[in-house]
Amino acid sequence: MKEFWPTMDFLKPRLIPMNRRRRIYEGKAKVLYEGPEPGTLIQHFKDDATAFNAKKHQIIDGKGVLNNRISEFIFQHLNNIGVPTHFIRRLNMREQLIKEVEIIPLEVVVRNVAAGSLSTRLGLEEGTQLPRSIIEFYYKNDGLNDPMVSEEHITAFGWASPQEIDDIMALAIRVNDFLSGLFLGVGIRLIDFKMETGRLWEGEMMRIVVADEISPDSCRLWDVKSNDKMDKDRFRRDLGGVVEAYTEVARRLGIMQESEATRPTGPQLVQ
Ligand code: TMP
């Protein structure tokens, strides 16, 4: 019997040690590994912060853990209200199990209030309420610095079909409505955010789902009372206190216990 086992390896549970998992893709702030089953991936959140197409780079201890938890919270709620996402479940402090999708090469930005590149482009004072929410598309291409594109470019170059653009815009509006309410309820104004989408194949059927992450790295979040920035602009603009701001977002959303979020990583003084 014993000599049979080597040929029956397929019966053993497929546990892959961390260091031998196949790396599928490494981005600026995340790594994707092969998942435990076909059609799944593991999304790992790093502590790297980049801005201006990675010209500025820094390791911010604890950022990955916070973004993993905040993004889990948002994606789980989106799944619960029937907005389809790639998210399955969180696995540990830095990783989540996700469905493998074909990423559509567009960054979808939804803006409620003028800030950032919109303010620069159109000369609008940051903080000006927009007449209505505005959706913009950027072509995901680091070599080109993610240029803004129109629906004409998207369909002409075949990045997405007109029907897919409609689906993406409908998803973006639902995500914006959900996030605006969620954050307003905890005293945070959702200025704008970026989301990504992917094609999820289920047999012969395909549908567009929300992918990647939604976290303070990809949103502008301002405190309602003070207008303090609680997002990655703290890093982009050298304001400091990045982890403190992300921790406060997590705390207000009720994700992390205060003690857990602020627990020091080094030895603790026992009193
Ligand atoms: P922007 O004002 O710089 O165009 O940014 C709009 C929103 O998109 C803002 O919430 C930050 C987010 N964003 C990303 O998530 N990744 C990026 O590479 C950029 C440029 C912006």
> Cβ distance 42 to 18 under 8 Å?
no
pLDDT at 9: 52
CB-ligand 1 contact for 229 (6 Å cutoff) = no
- DSSP label at residue 267: -
d(CA 237, ligand 1 centre) in Å: 13
pLDDT digits (tens, 9 = 90+) for 172-186: 999 999 999 999 999
Distance (angstroms) between ligand 1 centre and the Cα of 130 equals 17
**Rounded alpha-carbon distances, angstroms, from residue 2 to 6, 13, 14:** 8, 18, 20
Q: Is 220 in the pocket of ligand 1 (CB under 6 A)?
A: yes
Give residue 110 CA to ligand 1 midpoint distance, Å. 10
Reported as a pLDDT band with limits 50, 70 and 90, residue 5 is: very low
Question: Percentage of the chain with pLDDT > 90?
Answer: 86
The pLDDT of residue 18 is above 70: no
Residues of the chain with CATH 3.30.200.20: 9-100+242-260
List where CATH 3.30.470.20 sits in the chain: 103-223
- CATH topology (fold) of 9-100+242-260: Phosphorylase Kinase; domain 1 (3.30.200)
For residue 105, the CA-to-ligand 1 centroid distance in Å is 15
What rounded mean pLDDT belongs to the chain? 92
What is the CA(86)–ligand 1 centre distance, in A?
Answer: 21
- Rounded to an integer, the average pLDDT of 57-81 is 98
Q: For domain 103-223, give the CATH number.
A: 3.30.470.20
152-162, pLDDT tens digit by residue?
Answer: 999 999 999 99
- Please give the full DSSP string across 179-238, using - where no structure is assigned: HHHHHHTTTEEEEEEEEEEEEEEETTEEEEEEES--STTTEEEEETTT--B-STHHHHTT
**Is the model's pLDDT at 66 over the cut of 50?**
yes
Strands (E), the chain: 23-26, 30-34, 40-45, 48-51, 56-59, 87-90, 95-99, 102-103, 106-113, 129-139, 148-149, 188-202, 205-211, 219-223
Q: Is 117 in the pocket of ligand 1 (CB under 6 A)?
A: yes
Ligand 1 contacts CB of residue 212 (under 6 A): no
Confidence of residue 19 (pLDDT cuts 50, 70, 90): low
Report whether residue 85 contacts ligand 1, using a CB cutoff of 6 Å.
no
Write out the two tokens for 29: 């702030």
- Least confidently predicted of 4-18, 86-100, 129-143, 255-269: 4-18
